[in-house]
Amino acid sequence: MRALALLPVLACLSAGARGELLSRCQLARLLQRGGLDGFMGYRLDNWLCLAFYASRFDTGTVTENSDGSSDYGIFQINSRRWCSDQRSRTLDLCQTRCRDLLTADLADDISCVKKVVMDWQGMGVWMPWRDHCKGRDLSHWVASCNL
């Protein structure tokens, strides 16, 4: 009986173990290789600032929202519109499973954020970017990364 009580705890721990905490420069290199530097007019420092304030560079971050949707991964991509979580109604515009956004492989995250930023709001769709990054000098995010 005690083993059954531990199952939810173990499930949470194993789900969190899939993510990875990246360093600023490690993420900068991955995003640069993925073609985000300059994509839709947003320099790499914007993407780093967003990732920090959205997830603290943790690929395994999941945030539950009051509307029943969740935000997934390093960029906190929302399940209502962009990915499929099999729990809530979704448009699944990125045609990806939300859980795939929780791994250290950022290829699907990068592919999806490119679709998100092409939306009419651009990076403004992300509140952490609007609140902490928009219109600010962000050069310190890529400083000393030797890109």
Among 121, 123, 102, residue whose Cα is nearest residue 36: 123
Share of the chain above pLDDT 90, in %: 82
pLDDT over 90 at 83, yes or no: yes
Calculate mean pLDDT across residues 78-103.
Answer: 93
CATH number of the domain where residue 110 is located: 1.10.530.10
In a domain? residue 146: no
In a domain? residue 9: no
In a domain? residue 8: no
**pLDDT of the residue at 109:** 98
pTM of the model: 0.86
In a domain? residue 135: yes
**pLDDT of the residue at 123:** 97
Q: Determine the straight-line distance between the first and last CA of the chain, rounded to whole angstroms.
A: 54
Across-strand partners of 70? 64
Kindly report the number of other CB atoms within 10 A of residue 63's CB atom.
12
Among 105, 99, 106, 113, residue whose Cα is nearest residue 70: 99
**pLDDT of the residue at 89:** 84
pLDDT over 50 at 49, yes or no: yes
Calculate mean pLDDT across residues 28-32.
Answer: 98
In a domain? residue 2: no
In a domain? residue 7: no
Among 37, 63, 61, 38, residue whose Cα is nearest residue 51: 61
**pLDDT of the residue at 132:** 98
Among 59, 83, 57, 58, residue whose Cα is nearest residue 70: 83
Calculate mean pLDDT across residues 72-96.
Answer: 94
**Residue with the larger pLDDT of the pair 6 and 53:** 53
Task: Look at the chain and report how many structural domains it folds into.
Answer: 1
Query: What does the alpha-carbon distance between residue 130 and residue 126 come to, in Å, rounded to a whole number?
Result: 6
**pLDDT of the residue at 98:** 97
Range of the domain at 62: 20-139
In a domain? residue 147: no
**Residue with the larger pLDDT of the pair 134 and 90:** 134
Calculate mean pLDDT across residues 76-96.
Answer: 93
In a domain? residue 12: no
Per 3-state DSSP, the chain is made up of helix, strand and coil in percentages (nearest 5) of 50, 10, 45
| Band of residue 5 on the pLDDT scale cut at 50, 70, 90 | very low
Q: Which two tokens stand for residue 90?
A: 């979704």
